[in-house]
Amino acid sequence: MNPYRLARRAVGRALRALPWTRRMLVASCDYRIITEAQARAHRGGGWHFASTVRRQEQAYDLLLAEMHAGHPRNDLTVAAQSVDALALAAPTLLEIGCGSGYYVEVFEALCRSKVCYTGLDYSPAMIERAKGRYPQAHFVTGDATKLDFPDKAFDIVFNGVSLMHILDFERAITEAARVAAHGVIFHSVPLLERRPTAYLTKYAYGAPVVEIIFNRAHLLDMFAKAGLVVQQSWFSEDYDVAAVTGETSRAETFLCRPADKR
Ligand SMILES: C[S@@+](CC[C@H](N)C(=O)[O-])C[C@H]1O[C@@H](n2cnc3c(N)ncnc32)[C@H](O)[C@@H]1O
């Protein structure tokens, strides 16, 4: 390897060894297992920071450019496949935890049918950026655990990589099931097979957040209690934090149907 590349690698390694620079450079780092009580007491709040919105946007711009060049990352392909699997013409879709709304672009590019999209996020900073970026879509600020919509208000509820950040996840699952007429998609949920559901802290785009890695059987049990039946599931992304949990994990996407629609 040429000396310039070797020097760059060495500098990169040195910067990643220091907490402050590591958090500036790496999208997700510094995972630590905590108890549920510690998770509830955690100030977190990272999703509300303007800097998180900015850094997430930089990361997504690269991913979206690859998708438009014909090389979508697997989780983006799976998101579109899960929507298409319901075979609905021009479905209304509510994305829970939409961030700055990147899935508007993913569904437009990769879904077979047009999707009539509404995005919801509890971070006003995310919603403000989403409205600026995707004026063709509809966005609202709101909490996944108290959805301000009537029963069966949307054909599809799509939880966009956010269940893992919602401490009251059981309520979020019940609320998603309530407002969905035809299907609920839980996209890219990190899973453990053997360990019980685990609570962690990490830095996401340089900001502190809480994260949950679900025991798969526990998650399926919560779906069943909410009246949901898994119709199909897909491997979404590697999500390996075995160095912290002691067990290899991965992210999976679930397409669930209300029991009365099977
Ligand atoms: C990992 S980001 C996912 C953003 C986007 N869907 C994506 O995949 O890029 C998680 C999002 O969930 C949102 N979130 C966390 N807890 C929430 C809650 N209780 N209600 C609504 N949104 C929430 C955060 O603000 C954040 O934008």
Q: What pLDDT is attached to residue 69?
A: 98
Say if residue 18's pLDDT is above 80.
Answer: no
How many whole angstroms from 85 Cα to the centroid of ligand 1?
A: 24
Give the model's confidence band at 6: pLDDT under 50 very low, under 70 low, under 90 confident, else very high: confident
Query: How many A from CA of 107 to the centre of ligand 1?
Result: 17
Mean pLDDT of the chain: 93
Q: Whose CA is nearest to atom 14 of ligand 1?
A: 97
More confident residue, 94 or 240: 94
pLDDT at 262: 63
Q: Which atom in ligand 1 lies closest to the alpha carbon of residue 102?
A: 9
Is the CB–ligand 1 distance for residue 52 below 6 Å?
no
In this prediction, residue 95 has a pLDDT band, given cuts at 50, 70 and 90, of very high
Q: 101-139, pLDDT tens digit by residue? A: 999 999 999 999 999 999 999 999 999 999 999 999 999
Short-list 184, 231, 186, 82, CA closest to 74: 82
Q: Comparing C-alpha atoms, which of 62, 28, 84 is closest to residue 234? A: 84
Nearest-atom index, ligand 1, CA of 160:
6
Which pair of tokens denotes residue 98? Answer: 């939409």
From CA 179, how far away is CA 171, in angstroms rounded? 13
- 16-30, 174-188, 208-222: range with lowest mean pLDDT: 16-30
Q: Are 95 and 119 in contact (CB under 8 A)?
A: yes
Q: Contacts from 64-69 at CB under 8 Å and sequence distance 24+? A: 64/102, 64/105, 64/106, 67/105, 67/106, 67/109, 67/110, 68/109
pLDDT band of residue 233 (cuts 50, 70, 90) is: very high
Select the more confidently predicted residue: 88 or 28: 88
Are 71 and 137 in contact by the 8 Å Cβ rule? The answer is no
163-183 residues labelled b (16+ CB within 10 A) or e (exposed): bbbbbebebbbbbbbbbbbbb
Could you identify the atom of ligand 1 that is nearest to the CA of residue 99? 27
pLDDT (tens digit per residue) in 180-210? 999 999 999 999 999 999 999 988 888 889 9
Nearest by Cα to 206 from 28, 18, 59, 48: 28
**Does the CB atom of residue 100 touch ligand 1 within 6 A?**
no
Ligand 1: distance of its center to the CA of 161 in Å?
7
- Angstrom distance (rounded) from CA 226 to CA 2: 57
Alpha helices, DSSP H only, in 147-210? 169-179
Helix (H) or strand (E) holding 27: none
For each of the domains in the chain, give its residue range(s) and CATH number, in order of start.
28-261 (3.40.50.150)
Residue 13 has pLDDT above 70, yes or no: yes
Structure token pair of residue 258: 């209300």
Report the separation in Å between the CA atom of 130 and the middle of ligand 1, taken as the mean of its atom positions. Answer: 12
| Residue 44: predicted pLDDT | 67
Look at residue 162 and tell me whether its pLDDT is greater than 70. yes
Chain centroid, CA 137 distance in Å: 19
- Buried-state track 206-231, b at ≥16 Cβ within 10 A, e below 16: bbbbbbbbbbbeebbebbeebbbeeb
